[in-house]
Structure 1
């Protein structure tokens, strides 16, 4: 994954405001209260000072005390050749606090896959605590008129 921005020396765990600048970016200040909270940063920096964005805090869920970024799971699912697209949400769980629920769309010509088969294959590339507790195969994901996946609709369905 290519870095979003190169920013040296920032602690993204505590800074809700940062400056961006570059040849194609106008120098300006961005407030990011929805993506920065103490204890779990959706940002990752490399040793070279590159900044990577993991996921929005409103989508992050805590399962058994571990922060899970749905985007990581969503990026792993299309790695399975039968899966066209996926969306992951956190749902309440009595034991773990929250667990993941994945909704996947298979390619039209793909062989039929069950949620358990998908989970078994997903175990090879993800930590156990990141695995969704349940995978549902759906015909399509709900979208806005601009094409964005409506995770709020998926939360209601779950």
Structure 2
């Protein structure tokens, strides 16, 4: 199926002429130059390509363009302009939860999706909420602590 696909990207209405079977990941990186969306496994296993699709965490490597007509897509570039991002970013810095940074855009969006549903999660709920995002450098303890700090210090944001 060829034709125009209309959606909202980071708050702006956009159109794509890509084939409906193409991956959202490729369109975001190639057409919109949003390189915070990382290409990791291309199989929906690592979370590096995570975006918020209609407010729900999604692996953009598994999303066909034809399925997003009329949808809202938020990447780390759009999310980074929010107060919620700043609270998470500050908490990540406090706990040294960033090393190489490859996983961080997707991990931060996973944390946002979790806190949007549950603004005061337990350790177990945090670990479950980020479980689809792999981190090979930092480890998860610092990230769990960062989410707890963001939840505590960002009261009222989520």
Same structural fold, with TM-score higher than 0.5 when normalized by the shorter chain: no
Which protein is bigger by CA-based radius of gyration?
A: 1
The structure where helix makes up a greater share of residues is 2
Scaled by the length of structure 1, the TM-score of the pair is 0.36
Scaled by the length of structure 2, the TM-score of the pair is 0.36
The structure where strand makes up a greater share of residues is 1
